[in-house]
Each structure stands twice: as C-alpha cells, then as structure tokens.
C-alpha cells in the first residue's frame, strides 16, 4: 500500500500565526473560515516542496 512521505505539521509550531490571523478577524465571522485560513497559511509556511492542494492537505492535520 502507498504510504505518504509528506511530513505532518501543526499550527502550534507557528506561534506568530495567531497574531497574523487576528488582523483578519473582522472579515472572518464564522469559525469555519478562520480554521480554513489557518490551515491554508500553515500549508504555505511549511517546507513542503510543492505547494499544491494535495501536498498541503497531506502535510497539515485536519485538512482534506
């Protein structure tokens, strides 16, 4: 069976991310939007070589 070799990352390892997301709080009224933005930014900030939806979803927990 195929096993993913993409490292898994957690938003907890990016302490400045909460500070950055606070600036968008006015625009993100629903918790789903904030969570999606947090996962997307975490994926962009990871060291994954190819930043596409598949590799970022494999690297960031809670993303499909």
Q: Is the pLDDT of residue 4 over 70?
A: no
pTM for this model (two decimals): 0.65
20 in helix, strand or coil? helix
The tens digit of pLDDT for each residue in 14-45 reads 677 778 888 887 888 888 888 888 888 888 88
Q: Is 62 left (phi over 0), alpha (psi -120 to 50) or beta?
A: left
Q: What does the pLDDT read at residue 20?
A: 80
Residues 6 or more apart whose Cβ sits within 8 Å of residue 58: 4, 6, 8
């Amino acid at each position: 069976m195929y096993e993913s070799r993409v490292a898994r990352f957690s938003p907890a390892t990016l302490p400045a991310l909460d500070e950055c997301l606070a600036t968008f709080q006015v625009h993100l009224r629903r918790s789903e939007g904030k969570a999606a933005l947090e996962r997307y930014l975490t994926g962009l900030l990871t060291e994954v070589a190819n930043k596409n939806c598949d590799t970022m979803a494999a690297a960031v927990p809670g993303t499909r």
